Amino acid sequence: MTFLICYYLKMLVLGIETSCDETGVALYDGKNKKIIFECLFSQADKHSLYGGVVPELAARDHTNKFLPLLKKGLNDSNINLKDIDVIAYTKGPGLRGPLMVGAAFAKSLGFALDKPVIPVHHMEAHLLMAKYDAPELCYPFLTLLVSGGHTILAKVEQSGVYKILGQTIDDAVGEAFDKTAKLLGLKYPGGPEIEKMSVRGKNMKDRLPRPILNSNDYNFSFSGLKTAVLYKVNELKREGELSNQLISNICLEFQNAAIDCLLHKTNKALIDFDLKQVVLSGGVAANKELRRRFSTDLHQGCSAIYPDFSHCTDNGTMIAFTGYEKINLPKEDNKISVNPKWSLEEVDNG
Ligand code: KG4
Ligand code: ZN
């Protein structure tokens, strides 16, 4: 009897994330608001050899890692596959091949277990993870989503209703971190490496540009910043060896320039739309200097909210949590399909 009561008091949502180079598998109990397990495998070392993600290799590795991760999670938490109530997976945006692997596993499991399958928007899941870790959000609010593939400033009107105010017109900010790190001979992913190096950095005499900082819109541009680093590196190399100190100085200046751009447009949007909260998420929101600047230099009376550090970068929990938030929406059929270019404004909110 106790067992039966417990059974009906749970709603176990399996989350599957494979949009890029992390295989994330997590089980979330929506009724008790509890993570049952989170398993993550990062392919960073594999892609590090190439200085960036190789989509075909990423897809193959998801194929190899998904089932072992799922088995481990279920075994460690003593859960039977049949106990899963719903399966949520990343349908997009992301890399087509890697997305197809996650979609194929999700639909096959749904078919075999006769359980509903929910498609999740990767960037909405990044955002909603802040709701899990910091539930005091009040609509409307602003969100700044900063990852390897996206830089989006959007107004969240109400649950699931997004108005994109601005985005990058070229590279995403995480991509700029990754490409700049590569130029400086640092490992992939570049964001954490640049952050580490910048701690020992000293202010440079020559400042890097802050592209389109004063444009009268909410867009960003980071490719020129990366190119400016390339020119600086070439200049310094002509003068002598690129020492660790010089690399640290460039990292510090690059990071400051990128944060200045993000902060300036965020403040402009907070003022123009009279909003008081901004939710930051995505891999770059794990950057400690960014968090420090968003606490000291944000427009007066406004506050920044983030998921936990561990939930900023890609993970399966954000997909499971978002799946639970969307549990009452119409379920998908068995067809395996993905949407690599899915816009945040097109998510299904019922
Ligand atoms: O959200 P995410 O894990 O994957 C995508 O959806 O793209 O973000 C990955 C990006 C990478 O570009 C990585 O370099 C960046 O987030 N990143 C960081 C930090 N940690 C990860 N960038 C700056 N500082 C960090 N600490
Ligand atoms: Zn992501």
Indicate the number of domains in the chain.
2
DSSP β-ladder status, 277-281 and 151-158 = unpaired
Q: Which of 275, 337, 325, 283 is nearest to 135 (CA)?
A: 325
Q: Which residues pair with 86 in a beta bridge?
A: 13
pLDDT band with cut points at 50, 70 and 90 for residue 7: low
Cβ(255) to ligand 1 under 6 A?
Answer: no
Contact of 143 with 150, CB cutoff 8 Å: no
Q: Which of 89, 9, 56 is nearest to 322 (CA)?
A: 89
Residues 73 and 189 in one domain: no
Residues 7 and 83 in one domain: yes
Cβ(177) to ligand 1 under 6 A?
Answer: yes
Mutate to test the pocket of ligand 1, among 40, 41, 147 (most ligand atoms within 8 A of CB): 147
Cβ(287) to ligand 1 under 6 A?
Answer: yes
Report which protein residue has its CA nearest ligand 1's atom 6.
147
Which ligand has an atom closest to residue 150 CA?
Answer: 1
Question: Of ligand 1's atoms, which has the minimum distance to the CA of residue 255?
Answer: 23
Determine the distance separating the centroid of ligand 2 and the alpha carbon of 31, expressed in angstroms: 25
Range of the domain at 162: 137-306
Residue 183 pLDDT greater than 60, yes or no: yes
Determine the distance separating the centroid of ligand 1 and the alpha carbon of 282, expressed in angstroms: 7
Which residue carries 């928007």 as its tokens?
121
Residue 141 has what DSSP assignment?
E
Kindly state whether residue 91 falls inside one of the protein's structural domains: yes
Which ligand has an atom closest to residue 259 CA?
Answer: 1
The mean of the pLDDT values for the chain is: 95
Q: What is the pTM of this model?
A: 0.96
* pLDDT computed for residue 136 by the predictor: 78
Contact of 342 with 133, CB cutoff 8 Å: no
Cβ(61) to ligand 1 under 6 A?
Answer: no
Residues 200 and 301 in one domain: yes
Residues 319-348 have pLDDT tens digits of: 999 999 999 998 889 999 999 999 999 998
Residues 53-87 have pLDDT tens digits of: 999 999 999 999 999 999 999 999 999 999 999 99
* pLDDT computed for residue 3 by the predictor: 47
Residues 10 and 120 in one domain: yes
pLDDT band with cut points at 50, 70 and 90 for residue 211: very high
Residues 92 and 110 in one domain: yes
Kindly state whether residue 147 falls inside one of the protein's structural domains: yes
3-state secondary structure 153-185: EEEEEECCEEEEEEEECCCCHHHHHHHHHHHCC
Residue 263's CB is within 10 A of a number of other CB atoms, namely 21
Write out the DSSP string of 235-258.
HHHHHS---HHHHHHHHHHHHHHH
Phi and psi, residue 172, nearest 5° = -75, 160
CA distance 80 to 121: 27
Residues 120 and 221 in one domain: no
Kindly state whether residue 298 falls inside one of the protein's structural domains: yes
Residue 6 pLDDT greater than 90, yes or no: no
Residues 218 and 336 in one domain: no
Residues 185 and 330 in one domain: no
Determine the distance separating the centroid of ligand 2 and the alpha carbon of 145, expressed in angstroms: 9
Phi and psi, residue 211, nearest 5° = -60, 140
Kindly state whether residue 116 falls inside one of the protein's structural domains: yes
CA distance 25 to 27: 7
Determine the distance separating the centroid of ligand 2 and the alpha carbon of 40, expressed in angstroms: 13
Residue 119, token pair as written in the block: 């498609």
**Long-range CB pairs of 78-81, under 8 A, 24+ apart, other chains included:** 79/12, 79/27, 79/36, 79/37, 81/109, 81/113
Tell me whether residue 250 is exposed, middle or buried, using C-beta atoms within 10 angstroms of its C-beta: 0 to 12, 13 to 18, 19 or more: buried
Tell me whether residue 134 is exposed, middle or buried, using C-beta atoms within 10 angstroms of its C-beta: 0 to 12, 13 to 18, 19 or more: middle
Determine the distance separating the centroid of ligand 2 and the alpha carbon of 126, expressed in angstroms: 7
Contact of 302 with 166, CB cutoff 8 Å: no
Residues 156 and 179 in one domain: yes
Report which of residues 50 and 153 the model is more confident about: 153
Q: What is the CATH number of the domain that holds 44?
A: 3.30.420.40
User: What 3-state class would DSSP assign to 41?
Assistant: strand
Report which of residues 176 and 3 the model is more confident about: 176
Cβ(307) to ligand 1 under 6 A?
Answer: no
Kindly state whether residue 132 falls inside one of the protein's structural domains: no
Q: What share of the chain is helix, strand, coil (3-state, %, to 5)?
A: 45, 20, 35
Residues 200 and 264 in one domain: yes
Residues 189 and 302 in one domain: yes
Residues 294-324 have pLDDT tens digits of: 999 999 999 999 999 999 999 999 999 999 9
Kindly state whether residue 321 falls inside one of the protein's structural domains: yes
Kindly state whether residue 27 falls inside one of the protein's structural domains: yes
* pLDDT computed for residue 37 by the predictor: 98
Q: Please give the distance of CA 81 from its chain centroid, rounded to a whole number.
A: 28
Residues 263 and 146 in one domain: yes
Residues 116-170 have pLDDT tens digits of: 999 999 999 999 999 988 777 899 999 999 999 999 999 999 989 999 999 999 9
Residue 261, token pair as written in the block: 């751009």
Question: Of ligand 1's atoms, which has the minimum distance to the CA of residue 149?
Answer: 7
